[in-house]
Amino acid sequence: MRIDTFQIFYRKLSSIFYGWWLIGIATFMLMLMSATVFQGIGTFFVVLERNFGWTRTTLSGAFALARAEGALFGPLEGFLVDRLGARRMVLIGFTIMGLGFLFFSQTREIWHFYAAYVMISFGSGVGGWIPMITMVNNWFSKRRAIAMAMAVSGVQFGGFLVPVMALGIESSGFRMTTFGIGVCLLVVVYPVSRLIRNRPEEHGLTPDGLAMPVTGTSPRPDSNQEDTETAGNDMTLRQALKTVAFWAIVVARTTSVVSIVSMAVHLVPKLTDTGMSLVTANLVVMTYTTLAIPSGVLAGIIADRTSTTGVLFMCLLLQAVSVAVLAVSDSLGLALVFAVMYGIGFGGRVPLLTAIIGDYFGRRHFGTILGVNMIPSNVAMIVAPLFAGYMFDINQSYFVPFAAFSVLGFLGTFAILFAKRPTYFVQS
């Protein structure tokens, strides 16, 4: 009886479309990347400022240098993902990240921190966001938005690890904590990479696990969007660059990311400046992280059934308003108001701004197109944290930078309305 039950359970697990297992892998790896490189950087900044007395402008320089590397190598990373596949890129990238954290644990001079963080950032670029999202885009088409939202929830889940990381730093010191992170990444990356599959076609499957379409059939009339992958159509980078949609997405991405990247660096310092402890400040981060998970999934479901641009408009609007609240926040109450609004907006913004690239331009050149689409935002991410740190060092306040980021966010909110589906494709 136990054997029969096990066999039935095994058959049910085996019948699950492998793309959903890959969603779990992407979620897990993005969670590790987010907690250590994105969500946790503000915590490291506070610790380094306290231990070494470095200014926030100086500390922000490391982040700016890392973003300069991202702007330079982002298109190449996307190209390599399209050519080499996600499996190899994840193995290489997370190995570099792990070694970077081992070096970070030995930081004693500012150049040590700069070198370590650039190494960590380069590794996350090679093996993190673009490879994971490209993999998801390859395995899903009609369910792309919800699949992206589920995978990107790993970014939010990383926020749950940040208070744990903060406790580790306070109890064991940042050297032991960062050394442990490096060891963890090196131990995990190889077995996880062996589970990654680049494309469903390589294993006799199709996107979404649907049956192979009969040649010459047209899309279902009840489908809310054209399935460009099933129809065998993809845009080249050159064609994508000629569309209004590509540039509207660029504007929306760039104007909304300046607040995201600056908060990754300066949110925890801003909150601790108001008298919060490091743990309490990270609980605010965990609040918006918690809300971002269900809001991202819900946004994906609604976008798959209605309009991606319409849902994106609402998410970007909420994010812009929340940043305005943060600019004037001086108490835990206002910080929580910010966290609620930001969590809902940020949660939907991240997966949908990526899913729309796959919806509009297809799968074949997705990594390359995404990498190029991110160049302006990577450049903006160089300037924004430096600007925020510099304005704080001058005024001892974050009001001016976050107010400016809110205004930019409103501009991007309306720019996304110009992102209409391109009217032509090239046959594969």
316-352 pLDDT, tens digit per residue, is 999 999 999 998 888 888 889 999 999 999 888 888 8
pLDDT at site 217: 43
* Residue with the larger pLDDT of the pair 215 and 20: 20
Listed in sequence order, the residues at least 6 apart from 384 whose beta carbon sits closer than 8 Å to its beta carbon are: 257, 258, 259, 261, 262, 401, 405
Tell the burial category of 16 from Cβ atoms under 10 Å away from its Cβ (0-12, 13-18, 19+).
exposed
The one-character DSSP state at 330 is: -
Question: Per the domain annotation, does 182 fall within a domain?
Answer: yes
Question: Which amino acid does the sequence have at 260?
Answer: I
Backbone angles phi, psi at 76, to 5 degrees: -65, -40
Average pLDDT over residues 172-194: 90
Question: Per the domain annotation, does 211 fall within a domain?
Answer: no
Backbone angles phi, psi at 194, to 5 degrees: -70, -20
Question: Per the domain annotation, does 214 fall within a domain?
Answer: no
Q: How confident is the model at residue 127 (pLDDT cuts 50, 70, 90)?
A: confident
pLDDT at site 210: 66
CATH classification at residue 134: 1.20.1250.20
pLDDT (tens digit, 9 = 90+) per residue, 134-176? Answer: 888 888 888 888 888 888 888 878 877 877 888 888 788 888 9
CA distances for 125 relative to 69, 93, 308, 379, angstroms: 9, 7, 26, 15
* Residue with the larger pLDDT of the pair 99 and 170: 99
Average pLDDT, the chain: 82
Q: How far, in Å, CA of 50 to CA of 215, rounded?
A: 65
pLDDT at site 231: 41
The two counts, helices (H) then strands (E), for the chain are: 17, 2
Identify the sign of the CA torsion 206, 24, 28, 162: positive
pLDDT at site 221: 35
Average pLDDT over residues 47-76: 74
User: Which uninterrupted H or E stretch holds 180?
Assistant: helix 174-193
Q: What domain range includes position 262? A: 18-199+233-421
Average pLDDT over residues 65-72: 67
Q: Which residue is listed with tokens 């899903």?
A: 140
Question: Per the domain annotation, does 10 fall within a domain?
Answer: no
| Least confident range of 44-53, 333-342, 413-422 | 44-53
User: 3-state class of 234 per DSSP?
Assistant: strand
Average pLDDT over residues 59-80: 71
Q: What is the DSSP string of 272-320?
A: HHTT--HHHHHHHHHHHHHHHHHHHHHHHHHHHHS-HHHHHHHHHHHHH
Q: How confident is the model at residue 219 (pLDDT cuts 50, 70, 90)?
A: very low
Q: How far, in Å, CA of 58 to CA of 390, rounded?
A: 9
pLDDT (tens digit, 9 = 90+) per residue, 221-273? Answer: 333 343 434 444 688 888 999 999 999 999 999 999 888 878 777 888 888 88
Question: Per the domain annotation, does 58 fall within a domain?
Answer: yes
Judge whether 403 and 307 are in contact, CB under 8 Å. no
pLDDT at site 152: 81
* Residue with the larger pLDDT of the pair 218 and 307: 307
Question: Per the domain annotation, does 158 fall within a domain?
Answer: yes
Question: Per the domain annotation, does 7 fall within a domain?
Answer: no
pLDDT at site 424: 57
CA distances for 217 relative to 47, 227, 296, 314, angstroms: 60, 12, 33, 35
pLDDT at site 308: 86
pLDDT at site 4: 60
* Residue % of the chain over a pLDDT of 90: 22
pLDDT at site 9: 52
pLDDT at site 211: 55
Give the strand pairing for 426-427 and 233-234.
antiparallel
Q: How far, in Å, CA of 79 to CA of 113, rounded?
A: 29
Question: Per the domain annotation, does 80 fall within a domain?
Answer: yes
β-sheet bridge partners, residue 426: 234
**Total domain count, the chain:** 1
